[in-house]
Structure 1
Amino acid sequence: MNLKKYIAELKRRKVFKPAITYLIVAWLIAQVFSVVFPAFNAPNYFMKTLIIALIIGFPLNLILAWIYELTPQGIKKTKNMTAKASISTQTNAILNNGTDKLVVLPFQNISSSNGNNYFSNGLTEEIIVRLSGIEELDIASRSTSMRYRDSKLDNESLGRELNARYLLGGTVRRHKNDLRISTELIDLKKDTTLWAEIYQGNITDVFVIQEQVSKKIVKSLQLKLSPKEKVALGKKATLNIEAHDANLKAREFLFKYTKSYLLLAIDLFQNAIDLDPK
């Protein structure tokens, strides 16, 4: 078990909270008895014994927190609990083999230039926006997704940390007007790839690719769409590739949350509107 995976497991079992609580309580006990023992002329070894007992109690507290969890019916072993009994939402999800939540991981830019990061980020965001309109689908937000752009966690740990069953990931390679996008949809519960595909074409094909990826996900997850959702899934904000590109750059700057980048974002948004007023 690598360090990050181990830390994720500690968080899932909620070990940190009882550990911190124990340290605070132990410190308070030590402070109180450092006053009480001298007041009653207690031998010096009383305080030493107390300190040793508190030190020994710390790892025991961690072990108990690792093995057991507090439930409405009392303290029970995590592996012996029913999902309903657990008061931890993360543990509850794991005992239920996770939810059907989908997480669209940030598409990785594998172009020769880092200047295309805005494009891969924008592609990720637009797929999330398309899918978020489906009532039957539970999908993680853009902000949640972007936190895992450079994550080194394996798929199992990601699914556990995000309380998700499905992961969509991919790569983007852009060279001038040539575009190559690879995608993969993973079912974490079954540890299988539901589908993987490579799309190649011109930069103007990005709208079609987004729609195809979204429809593939709907089909793979066997989601039932309303007529309104079907229309929304295929809707395109613009067909002007230059306006689309300016809009992606503007959104990239917008999320940097500084005044200078905000001003750049405003100029780019205005440029996009000028290129495609509709």
Structure 2
Amino acid sequence: MPEPTHREASRPGESLRARLDREGQLPVAESLRIAADVAAALAAAHARGTVHGDIRPENIQLSDGATHLSPERANGHPSLDRRSDVHSLGLVLYEMLAGEPPPDPMPPLAGRRAVAEEVELIVAQAMARNPADRFESAADLAEALNSAAASADRTGFTTGERIALRRRVTPRWSFFTASVVGFLGVSLWLRFTAPAPSKPPALARLNSIAVLPLVNASPDTANEYFSDGITRELIASLGSVPGLRVVGPASSFAFKRSQLDAQQAGQRLGVGAVVEGSVRQSGGRLRVTAHLVSVAQGFDLWSETYEGGTADVFTVQDQIARAIAGALRPRAASDSAIPVRSPRTDLDGYRAYLAGRALSARPTAETVPAAIAHFAIAIGLDSAYAPAWAALAEAHTQEIILGMRPTEEAGPLAR
């Protein structure tokens, strides 16, 4: 889709809603500047102890209803804070860029509009369902938006141009090779003249982590839904570890096919460690490689390769989650600390379930019916598989949101 241009100046006194209804997608730079202005105004209000609580295009002067309310407000949460306004502004920014309000569950911008990676990360972090994963303040969001707006017209990687594999070797290693003799001499001198260095922080102090989308290394590129599904299961499993903060799927998947390495991605996400790796399926065999990378140092804290039959996927997922939790928080590595997130089921049913989840993650009039068909297959193979039933109900809710079926028809199916 070509980049929208500024076809007409905003009419005096009109709302952002009127502008969106007239033009749909707005230019990226202008969208960022509008959002930055609103964020700055919110920061001033928050400094006075005021939370707006109702940030919508209709209320921004230049879809409706609960679509632009944060989850806390929509659920009647009694203790809204400034991060609720951050979330609502993230939804408004999404609509300015995508040309439509985000459905639920909220997909990343990738596939709806090619935007710079920095922009997608800002949107994903602002819209994070967990308040702890959002920008800490509207002022922080305004700063990020202004920075992105300043470089919006420059040529750079977009979500549609990212390379398939993240770099694991960076130019700093070339510098190391060229300078190894000098470093060796300095190291020997420091060994005998400098005081003993302080001990590095214990791994147990790394209490925040992000799981980047595992790369599909299978010969068949159509298996990407499977590697994405394992990524989501790891995020869910690690999220159950007490005291461990895990970045949500929306923010993690903003780095899918990113050109950034694990350390750089972790710095963007503000976490202490990052999990990256790959999944390969071939001839009924499964091979999963995982690395736990320290964001502060850029080194692997732990790495392992798991091999077995494809039917062993449930066991592999549990083993990886427990190993990572054990490396970060040794006391939380017991079986009871990380409950099994995905009940065992028929392998073909699990594949159908994951394929459906991949489709429903980007709900459209075409993908939702296909997702429902996949969930029906999973349920047909195992009628007791609760995740498939839950996903099916969610897909019927998407039908209502997209206007594909009336509430009285799809509502009972979504319960």
Q: Same fold (TM over 0.5)?
A: yes
SS in 2 for 1:147: helix
Asked whether the 8 Å contact 2:209–2:273 carries over to 1, the reply is yes
Describe how 1:193-204 pairs up with structure 2 within 5 A.
193-204=300-311
Shift of 1:180: 1.0
Asked whether the 8 Å contact 1:253–1:261 carries over to 2, the reply is yes
SS in 2 for 1:168: strand
| Residue type of the alignment partner of 2:305 | I
Task: Please give the alpha-carbon distance, in whole angstroms, between the structure 1 residues aligned to 2:337 and 2:148.
Answer: 52
Asked whether the 8 Å contact 2:272–2:295 carries over to 1, the reply is yes
Check 1:154–1:247 CA distance in 2 against 1; reply closer, same or farther (3 A cut): same
Does residue 363 of structure 2 align to residue 262 of structure 1? no
SS in 1 for 2:255: coil
Shift of 1:239: 2.9
Check 1:193–1:267 CA distance in 2 against 1; reply closer, same or farther (3 A cut): same
Aligned to 1:30: none
Asked whether the 8 Å contact 1:238–1:276 carries over to 2, the reply is no
Aligned to 1:209: 316
Asked whether the 8 Å contact 2:360–2:367 carries over to 1, the reply is yes
Check 1:226–1:101 CA distance in 2 against 1; reply closer, same or farther (3 A cut): closer
Asked whether the 8 Å contact 1:136–1:224 carries over to 2, the reply is no
Does residue 350 of structure 2 align to residue 247 of structure 1? no
Check 1:268–1:219 CA distance in 2 against 1; reply closer, same or farther (3 A cut): same
Describe how 1:220-239 pairs up with structure 2 within 5 A.
220-225=327-332, 230=336, 233-239=339-345
| Residue type of the alignment partner of 1:253 | L
**Larger CA Rg, structure 1 vs 2:** 1
Does residue 260 of structure 2 align to residue 131 of structure 1? no
Q: Which has the higher helix share?
A: 1
> What TM-score do you get using the length of structure 2 for normalisation?
0.43
Deviating beyond 6 angstroms after TM superposition, the runs of 4 or more aligned structure 1 residues are: 18-21
Check 1:223–1:15 CA distance in 2 against 1; reply closer, same or farther (3 A cut): same
Aligned to 1:187: 294
| Residue type of the alignment partner of 1:238 | R
Does residue 155 of structure 2 align to residue 17 of structure 1? no
Check 1:143–1:19 CA distance in 2 against 1; reply closer, same or farther (3 A cut): closer
| Residue type of the alignment partner of 1:100 | N
Asked whether the 8 Å contact 1:128–1:142 carries over to 2, the reply is yes
Q: Which has the higher strand share?
A: 1
Structure 2, unaligned stretches of length 5 or more? 1-116, 122-139, 151-204, 385-415
Asked whether the 8 Å contact 1:137–1:223 carries over to 2, the reply is no
Aligned to 1:165: 272
State which drifts further: 214-223 or 120-129: 214-223
Residues 62-96 of structure 1, C-alpha deviations (whole Å, 9 max, x = no match): xxxxxxxxxxxxxxxxxxxxxxxxxxxxxxxxxxx
| Residue type of the alignment partner of 1:198 | T
Residues 160-181 of structure 1, C-alpha deviations (whole Å, 9 max, x = no match): 2100110101111111411111
| Residue type of the alignment partner of 1:156 | Q
> Aligned residues, how many?
195
| Residue type of the alignment partner of 2:213 | P
> What TM-score do you get using the length of structure 1 for normalisation?
0.63
Task: Please give the alpha-carbon distance, in whole angstroms, between the structure 2 residues aligned to 1:115 and 1:240.
Answer: 20
Task: Please give the alpha-carbon distance, in whole angstroms, between the structure 2 residues aligned to 1:193 and 1:18.
Answer: 31
Aligned to 1:53: none
